[in-house]
Amino acid sequence: MEPRRILLAISGGIAAYKAPELVRTLRRAGHEVRCMLTPEAERFVSGLSLQAVSGESVRRDLFDAGEEGEIDHIGLADWAELVVVAPATANLLAKMAHGLADDLVTAVLLATRAPILVAPAMNVNMWSHPATQANLEILRARGISRIGPDAGELACGWEGLGRMSDPAVIAEAAANQLVPSSLAGPRVLVTAGGTAEPIDAVRSVTNRSSGKMGFAIAAEAAHRGAQVTLVAGITGLPTPHGVDRIDVSTALQMRDAVLASFDDSTIVVKAAAVADFRPVNTSDRKIKKEQMAEGESMTLELVQNPDILQEISAKKGERTVVGFAAESHEVVAAAQRKLARKGCDLIVANDISRTDAGFEVDENAVLFVWPNGEVEELPLLPKAGVAAQLFDRIEKLREGR
């Protein structure tokens, strides 16, 4: 593997004594390694040892003028192609989950756009505590990877989950994180989630899209090194790590946001479920039912929204533009018609009549429908897996140019 720049963040647990070995393993694989320590970490491992094995000066203090003069904390955050947090204590994981930045390590973790891999190490009861588990879930949803902990005898005398993974295992997990930087360079624009078209101050016309597929696509693009802009509609999902997010709610707002980022984008994936129609009139007050007699009917007049995918496909030039199609019957034929009408490079079609795939769930079964008539049927996969398959195809398409 080509040499990469890895930043090792070490927090204050007994497993910190394994950090020099991890540095050596990563350096043997050819990588450049820099270390930063929390104030507590230095009680378990000396900065001098880490400096000797890394061949670089070690950073500890956010406010040390000498250290900052050499490489400032934002410079360090930007330098890293991967940040490995080993050991990651319960305290550090909690700070990461909640965005604290009260020392050098947490500030750099907040500032970096590089992928982050955590290797937790702690007492088994601290590990299984609901607070720790909730923090891990927050980090997972944000796209932060984790290796371990392993089960076994713990330094505190307890047995169970909490041992930091072996340095060789962490180094291997780090290598897996580093494999795809295949999209370094292109700017990727992704849309995700449904739109909500207001009827009045409290009601809207919307749909069941959760945004999970589009968020997985944005996360995968960032993972492959792309600069990613995610235009997010209505969704409760956290922003994937390293992704720039723009929140919108209506189709017209989504169109404006997409057009504003379009010129700078090389790849556009439109996974949003844009409402095809919006109410002609919207009231900025709540429409009261007392305004009508019981049983009286009401007509909601709708007007068609602009088709963003069609609009951008018409002026895509060298860009690769991918659309999605949610279909309930004759999936392939409908997707092929959509591909021809919209003029994009690929349609990812899914059958929304299936209950195990598509809306709201974490898995999806899709078909790639190509302009030459080819149709690829993928098995049921986690949405992250679908996203990876999609970018494998997009990269191949762009290489062929």
Q: Which positions are catalytic?
A: 156
Do 32 and 112 touch, CB atoms closer than 8 A?
no
CB atoms within 10 A of CB 298: 8
Do 23 and 35 touch, CB atoms closer than 8 A?
yes
Q: Would you tell me the crossing angle of helices 19-28 and 167-178 to the nearest 10 degrees?
A: 50
Query: How far does CA 269 lie from the centroid of its chain?
Result: 14
Residue 1 or 280: which CB sits closer to ligand C5P? Answer: 280
Residue 69 or 317: which CB sits closer to ligand C5P? Answer: 317
Q: Which residues contact 46 (CB under 8 A, 6 or more apart)?
A: none
Minimum Å gap between C-beta 322 and ligand C5P is 8
Minimum Å gap between C-beta 252 and ligand C5P is 10
Minimum Å gap between C-beta 304 and ligand C5P is 8
Distance of alpha carbon 229 from alpha carbon 85, whole angstroms: 26
Position 299, amino acid? T
Residue 47 or 343: which CB sits closer to ligand C5P? Answer: 343
Residue 101 or 332: which CB sits closer to ligand C5P? Answer: 332
Minimum Å gap between C-beta 134 and ligand C5P is 33
Minimum Å gap between C-beta 46 and ligand C5P is 54
Minimum Å gap between C-beta 312 and ligand C5P is 8
Distance of alpha carbon 77 from alpha carbon 272, whole angstroms: 32
Residue 136 or 326: which CB sits closer to ligand C5P? Answer: 326
Residue owning tokens 């700078």: 264
CB atoms within 10 A of CB 66: 8
Extract the tokens encoding 254: 């989504």
DSSP 234: B
Residue 176 or 304: which CB sits closer to ligand C5P? Answer: 304
Distance of alpha carbon 383 from alpha carbon 350, whole angstroms: 12
CA atoms within a 13 Å half-sphere pointing along the CA-CB vector of 2: 8
Distance of alpha carbon 212 from alpha carbon 271, whole angstroms: 9
Distance of alpha carbon 242 from alpha carbon 116, whole angstroms: 10
The residues of the shown chain that bind ligand C5P, judged by CB under 6 A, are 191, 251, 270, 272, 274, 276, 305, 307-309, 323-325, 338
- Whether cis (ω within 30° of 0) applies to the bond prior to 87 is yes
